[in-house]
Amino acid sequence: MISARASIHLNSKLRSRTLGSLIQGSIKRNFAAVEVEHGRGQWQTFGDLDSYKLGKYQIKTFNKISSKGLARFPTEEYDVRTGEDALNAHAILLRSHKMKESDIPHTVRAIARCGAGTNNVPVKRMTELGIPVFNTPGANANAVKELILCSMLLGSRRIVDGINHMKDLGSQGLARERVEKDKAMFGGRELKGKTLSIIGLGHIGSTTAHAASKLGMKLKGYDPAISVQSALKLPRSLDVADSLAAAVSGADYISLNIPYIKGDGGTHGIINANVIEHFKNGACLLNFARGELVDSEALKGFLDTSDGRYISDFPEDLLWDHKNTVILPHLGASTAEAEDAAASMAVETIRSFLETGTIKNSVNFPATSLPDRPEHSVRFTIVNKNVPGRLAEITETFASNGFNILQQINQSRGEVGYNVVDIEIKEKDDVVCFKDVQEKITMLDGVLSSRVIYGQPGTGYARNLEGEYFV
Ligand SMILES: NC(=O)c1ccc[n+]([C@@H]2O[C@H](COP(=O)([O-])OP(=O)(O)OC[C@H]3O[C@@H](n4cnc5c(N)ncnc54)[C@H](O)[C@@H]3O)[C@@H](O)[C@H]2O)c1
């Protein structure tokens, strides 16, 4: 039997030449050692093997990612690098970098965007290649909520006009003389007892509802596609409307917290003349979702003829200098805490995927989690095209190679299927070799990649690159 100590010695010898195939440590005394293949074939000429640290996951980052978030990668197991220096990366973390396929080495198993949108990642192509793309939903919700609260006050107390007036008076040396007389120009109203209607009751909508409730506001909301998890988070006092028109009717403040979706059935210009006609005279519209949700012409008509207000976080060619608007430069998520929270969530998501095969918060892969790997077992994950018969072929290949499956899960989403399989390792076997079975499974028609998640971080990954075995 080959001990863990012996295999580590072997690995360091191999490292000086090529990555070679390697033998990983035994699960426990009296249980089998596990052999997988890593560094054969294309790997030997791929990336930058001189600086590749065998035994660590290599992480490639784009943009400045919060150091608090990156600190969640333990340095004993993770080698975090930027851009060009990470030619053998196992996972990528980014913020706004516009990613091209050429940024993505063959060794990459996952991509995480620190933020909600993934427009800067070629998600469709990643799905074809079998690479999950993750995001960080809700990580910036608190930052946006706080700015929505601020904006309700901006909309009710003429604070911006007051500040500008004081600057003006100050520059003329008239501030002390005029302040008490002029303050009458900036009278306002209080939030307590007023009605806030929230359109979109997801992460931002629900946290805003709780905060507004604590300020003594009445709550309405509209979200025909609300998830069960989001519904459970809402304050009980929130009155759910059954249409957009009903939601905005009678509201003093209307907060838009829905995604912008182009095309038929989307949300482009959803706040249009037909909806605005239900606004009450002094309604204040808060837009911290996307500028394109609002029909600016129709809103201008309302603002010109009413005491309404518009506070928005987005560029606005028609309304930027209207006396009843306040336009901010997309500040919603711009806090250090939101960046830390997004990076931390992205790191935890990547770690959980690399270390256990779990998929959570992916925009292209099915949510998948299996209970912890049982003792004396090795975990396999397989990504395949979602075509009939793949699961049967995979389980049959394990069985015909003498492997017993202890537990497994198979999930699919759109064009992709994902399997997590825990294989039993019997007592006192000498070495359990996964080389052959991994090659057979990976090279099945329609399989894109496989991983043996066990032992040394980073090893045990194989891809079917258009019929060529990359391991
Ligand atoms: N200003 C900023 O910096 C900033 C920051 C983060 C997010 N945002 C915007 O805020 C939006 C909401 O963010 P979130 O984290 O709460 O998203 P979320 O996905 O958690 O919630 C969105 C909710 O909107 C609902 N919805 C979708 N279409 C709807 C419709 N037509 N009518 C009513 N409800 C609808 C969904 O069912 C979902 O519950 C994002 O899509 C993004 O555009 C802006």
Q: What is the pTM of this model?
A: 0.86
Give the model's pLDDT for residue 363. 97
Q: Tell me what the mean pLDDT of segment 41-65 comes to.
A: 89
Q: Tell me what the mean pLDDT of segment 105-111 comes to.
A: 95
228 lines ligand 1 (CB under 6 A): no
Q: Would you put residue 358 in left (φ > 0), alpha (ψ -120 to 50) or beta?
A: beta
Ligand 1, atom 9, lies closest to the CA of 289
Question: Distance from the CA of 138 to the center of ligand 1, in angstroms?
Answer: 10
* Spatial contact of 449 and 442, defined as CB atoms under 8 Å apart: yes
pLDDT in tens, 390-437: 899 999 999 999 999 999 999 999 999 999 999 998 766 668 889 999
Residue to mutate, 114, 257, 288, ligand 1, most ligand atoms under 8 Å from C-beta: 257
Give the model's pLDDT for residue 12. 38
Give the model's pLDDT for residue 33. 77
Q: Which residues contact 14 (CB under 8 A, 6 or more apart)?
A: 20, 22, 39
Q: Would you put residue 232 in left (φ > 0), alpha (ψ -120 to 50) or beta?
A: alpha
259 lines ligand 1 (CB under 6 A): yes
Please report the DSSP string for 392-414 in residue order: HHHHHHHHHTTPPEEEEEEEEET
Q: Is the pLDDT of residue 443 over 60?
A: yes
Q: What is the mean pLDDT of the chain?
A: 91
Q: Is the pLDDT of residue 385 over 90?
A: yes
Q: What percent of the chain has pLDDT over 70?
A: 92
Give the model's pLDDT for residue 34. 82
Residue to mutate, 229, 248, 258, ligand 1, most ligand atoms under 8 Å from C-beta: 258
339 lines ligand 1 (CB under 6 A): no
Residue position matching structure tokens 């040394």: 456
Give the model's pLDDT for residue 116. 86
Residue extent(s) of CATH 3.40.50.720 domains in the chain:
4-138+337-470, 141-158+188-327
Q: Is the pLDDT of residue 27 over 80?
A: no
Q: Residue 47 class from Cβ within 10 Å (0-12 exposed, 13-18 middle, 19+ buried)?
A: middle
- Cα–Cα distances (Å) from 323 to 158, 243, 306, 316, in that order, read 10, 30, 12, 13
Q: Exposure string (b/e) for 184-211, b if CB count within 10 Å is 16 or more?
A: eeeeeeebeebbbbbbbbbbbbbbbbeb
Q: Tell me what the mean pLDDT of segment 35-62 comes to.
A: 88
140 lines ligand 1 (CB under 6 A): yes
Domain spanning 4-138+337-470: which superfamily?
NAD(P)-binding Rossmann-like Domain (3.40.50.720)
Give the model's pLDDT for residue 31. 55
Q: Tell me what the mean pLDDT of segment 62-71 comes to.
A: 95
Q: How many angstroms separate the CA atoms of 411 and 210, rounded?
A: 35
Q: Is the pLDDT of residue 261 over 80?
A: yes
Give the model's pLDDT for residue 32. 64
pLDDT in tens, 304-331: 999 999 999 999 999 999 999 999 999 9
Q: What is the CATH number of domain 141-158+188-327?
A: 3.40.50.720
Q: Tell me what the mean pLDDT of segment 24-28 comes to.
A: 47
